[in-house]
């Protein structure tokens, strides 16, 4: 009887352990997406609205079982991201099977700021390739990306301002043997489809009439995004991610609205601060 009781207790513990393991497996994310980048990708608190980064809203286009770990930080370049220990911290978080989007360039080009600057065909390209190689060696999947376009127009066309940084982001991806998303060109094409005047709502443009406490006199910022701009850029990125990360049902196949944006972009923007 005692032996039977002991066996019964052991069996009960085994079943409990199995149930706990099953629950943990069910709760575990199918995939994790980490983001290394700058202010165009970063998360912002609601008091910074309407400024927002594409990394804060990209989950709208991802499957529910994908967890986004956004480690993008304002003002960082590949150099300062390394020097401040942020890359090492990201690598400590990295788990085999993780995906990592790596997008820098806005601040690497700051030759007036030596703590940020990296020559496009020198430190910048080397750092981008090294980032990708480190992720791959740790069992992750690296995706290198050129920086999103600035809102600079000449007549009916936008100007590509990232030049050699865009080029060398692609070269770094080729060197490391990883996927490359040319967000610089993709975002130019997207914003040109919307139009010069209309894209003011995609970027951080506030008139004195729409000013907030942070910008009481308004602001004309052609680098950072509002909710609708961030969602449009996030859509461009998500369309090019591996299929097992993306929730295709959230891509509206209907015709774009009158401003040239896909119908799902305003829906994403409406949820940006939820």
State the catalytic residues: 39, 220, 224
Return the closest-CA partner of residue 150 out of 117, 108, 184. Answer: 184
CA 38, chain centre distance (Å)? 9
- Those residues whose C-beta lies under 8 Å from the C-beta of residue 127, and which sit 6 or more positions away, are 78, 79, 82, 104, 118
How far apart are the C-alpha atoms of 240 and 145, rounded to whole Å?
Answer: 11
- Those residues whose C-beta lies under 8 Å from the C-beta of residue 84, and which sit 6 or more positions away, are 76
How far apart are the C-alpha atoms of 128 and 171, rounded to whole Å?
Answer: 9
How far apart are the C-alpha atoms of 225 and 41, rounded to whole Å?
Answer: 9
């Amino acid at each position: 009887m005692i032996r039977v009781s002991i066996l019964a207790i052991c069996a009960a513990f085994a079943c409990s352990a199995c149930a706990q393991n099953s629950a943990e497996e069910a709760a575990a994310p199918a995939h994790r997406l980490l983001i290394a980048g700058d202010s165009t990708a970063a998360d912002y608190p609601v008091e910074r609205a309407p400024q927002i980064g594409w990394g804060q809203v990209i989950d709208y286009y991802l499957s529910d079982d994908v967890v986004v770990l956004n480690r993008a930080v304002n003002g960082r370049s590949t150099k300062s991201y390394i020097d401040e220990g942020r890359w090492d911290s990201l690598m400590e978080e990295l788990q085999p099977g993780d995906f990592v989007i790596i997008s820098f360039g806005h601040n690497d080009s700051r030759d007036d700021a030596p703590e940020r600057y990296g020559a496009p065909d020198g430190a910048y390209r080397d750092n981008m390739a090294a980032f990708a190689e480190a992720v791959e060696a740790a069992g992750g999947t690296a995706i290198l990306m050129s920086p999103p376009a600035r809102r600079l127009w000449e007549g009916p066309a936008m100007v590509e301002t990232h030049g050699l940084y865009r080029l060398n982001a692609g070269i770094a991806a080729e060197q490391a043997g990883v996927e490359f998303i040319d967000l610089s060109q993709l975002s130019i094409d997207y914003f040109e489809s919307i139009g010069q005047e209309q894209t003011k709502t995609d970027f951080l443009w506030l008139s004195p009439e729409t000013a907030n406490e942070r910008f009481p006199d308004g602001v004309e910022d052609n680098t950072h995004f509002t909710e609708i701009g961030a969602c449009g850029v996030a859509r461009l990125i998500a369309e090019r991610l591996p299929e097992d990360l993306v929730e295709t049902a959230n891509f509206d196949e209907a015709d774009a609205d009158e401003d040239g944006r896909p119908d799902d972009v305003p829906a994403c923007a409406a949820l940006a601060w939820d």
